[in-house]
Amino acid sequence: MKLALVGATGLVGKEILVILEERKFPISDLILVASKKSCGQTISYLGKAHTIISLEDLLEKEVDLALFSAGGKVSQIWTPQLVAKGCKVIDNSSFWRMNKNYKLIVPEINGDKLTEKDMIISNPNCSTIQLVMALAPLHQKFKVKRVVVSTYQSITGSGVKAVKQLENEERGILGEMAYPHPIYQNVLPHCDTFEENGYTKEEMKLTNETKKILDEEIDVTATAVRVPVVGGHSESVNVMFENEFNLDDVHQSLRNMIGVEVVDNPLENKYPMPITAYKKDSVFVGRIRRDFTQKNTLNMWVVADNLRKGAATNTVQIAEYLLMKNYI
């Protein structure tokens, strides 16, 4: 397996390397790619130093699978060139996600839609992945009609620059700003850029990607909020079903879902939190309760490590699925 990782020096790229190692993904030749300013630097993987190369140099190599986590512009330009050489691509950017010609995959939900012919496979947005992991088993049993979600998203979703901003502000240091306002001891109702309809791109990703992965008939409205947490996205989710439900069945459906863990005993102060989801691959669900103001409606709290299941782990799981099916 000749595997290339594009964006190897970023937060998600570094986490992908950790997960490839943890899960013992079979690699005969690992090629690490980053921006030109990082070329020549080395990163250790399984005790061996690997020198970072450029995208131009990557095109000179034979590659079976490329994992992209370097932003939409990079994916737009370079993934088609690799595909033309026969290389499969799993892309973590937003560029291909809503293209009808490419599949948006969470392996536990729709991995079976993949075929050998799929050359570019999109990894969903981090906040979408944890949402659909919790919704999928409930949709199958009770049929989801409408979702209202408010997110509480870690600064790591904005990359290294945002982490540095928070660190600087905690120490009272003036530095480069990733956000238009301070994030330390603050909350920003602003993830990504605002669109003409008043929603941000992050909020519309939750709407559009959920529909593509689960069901086009599901209505999703979102408010995405950035909080000063280093690692882990949380979501307050209100779900209206077509069918009646009881809470025991809800709990059982969630427990039966691979990759979901129910942590729901508020009387003992047990509920999902970013601090307990950190460095874990599961999606954690708790605070499960009936919405007494609406018929067939449920509230729940969903938490996941956004760099792992929200990005890196899901990417590696897609690669594992392709390998298991002999598609690469």
**CA-to-CA separations, 144 to 215, 222, 238, 303, in angstroms, rounded:** 9, 15, 10, 20
How far apart are the C-alpha atoms of 177 and 175, rounded to whole Å? 6
DSSP three-state, residue 36: helix
251 labelled catalytic:
no
**CA-to-CA separations, 166 to 96, 235, 323, in angstroms, rounded:** 31, 21, 39
126 labelled catalytic:
yes
Please identify which of the residues 50, 87, 139, 233 carries the catalytic annotation: 233
How far apart are the C-alpha atoms of 196 and 177, rounded to whole Å? 25
DSSP three-state, residue 145: strand
**CA-to-CA separations, 161 to 75, 147, 175, 315, in angstroms, rounded:** 21, 32, 10, 23
Using an 8 Å Cβ cutoff, are 7 and 74 in contact?
yes
Using an 8 Å Cβ cutoff, are 178 and 214 in contact?
no
Please identify which of the residues 50, 87, 126, 191 carries the catalytic annotation: 126
DSSP three-state, residue 22: helix
Name the E strands within the chain.
Answer: 2-6, 29-33, 42-45, 48-51, 65-68, 88-91, 103-104, 120-122, 144-153, 219-226, 233-241, 260-262, 283-290, 297-304
**CA-to-CA separations, 177 to 157, 174, 194, in angstroms, rounded:** 15, 9, 18
- Taking the CB of residue 71, how many other CB atoms lie within 10 A of it? 16
Residues annotated as part of the active site: 126, 233
